[in-house]
Amino acid sequence: MKRHPTNPNLHLHTDDYFHGFRVYTERGPLIQEYLERCEQVIHASLHHYARVTAFRLDLHLPPLYCLQDESHANAVLERFFASLNAKIGHNRAQASQIRTGVHQTTVRYIWTREFGTEGTPHFHVTILVNGDAFTYLGDYDLGRDNMFNRVVQAWASALNASCEEIVTLVHCPEGLVYRLRRDDQQSYNELFYRVSYCCKADTKQYQDRGHAFGYSRH
């Protein structure tokens, strides 16, 4: 298998299918190791929950935001997921005080860092949660108690900014919610094709030693 030209630790996948699942190859080869990690995260979610909701979002950085001092670990993403985990956990704890039988959730995720034509990095993020706990992202109005606002609040916290300052930096693409069922192969196929886009070798940079891809390990 051919190695990545600028990162020999990675291997290129050129086939239209990966482990029997159709993948996105319209932009060139994909990275084998990233596809394996995506499969691992989705499998873990469906092993844990019979129903899974996945949200596909794009997170952008403010103009002139500097990642130089934290690019090696992409600490801004670490802060984002830590904050989001805390907010979702708080929501579940509050709900448990009001009623019984509240569904809890582990938050799993996949993310990739890409660079646009202007050279500014942005992040494609997929968040997977218990489908019995959360089903919708909710309205995009600030101040509501929904998943969209938790994402915005977590990104604002990661950037040390206000929600009003960064709300436009959270992009909700078309077809952003996927609802998977353990016994429904089609729903798995649709999500895997979508996240395989994030595994493309194009638009990735490794020269700054920053991570181009990350995922939850639990």
Nearest CA among 174, 191, 172, 196 for reference residue 45: 191
pLDDT for position 74: 76
Does the pLDDT of residue 48 top 90, yes or no? yes
In the predicted model, what is the mean pLDDT of the chain? 90
**Tokens representing 148?**
């969209």
Does the pLDDT of residue 208 top 80, yes or no? no
Angle at 128 between CA 141 and CA 15, to 5 degrees: 120
Task: Give residue-wise pLDDT tens across range 154-184.
Answer: 999 999 999 999 999 999 998 899 999 999 9
pTM equals 0.92
* Structural element, H or E, at residue 146: none
pLDDT for position 72: 46
**How do the domains of the chain map onto residue ranges?**
12-60+67-215
**Tokens representing 146?**
């929904």
Nearest CA among 83, 84, 92 for reference residue 133: 92
Averaged pLDDT for residues 201-209: 64
pLDDT for position 77: 92
Task: Give residue-wise pLDDT tens across range 62-116.
Answer: 887 766 555 444 789 999 999 999 999 999 999 999 999 999 999 999 999 887 7
CB 85 within 8 A of CB 107: yes
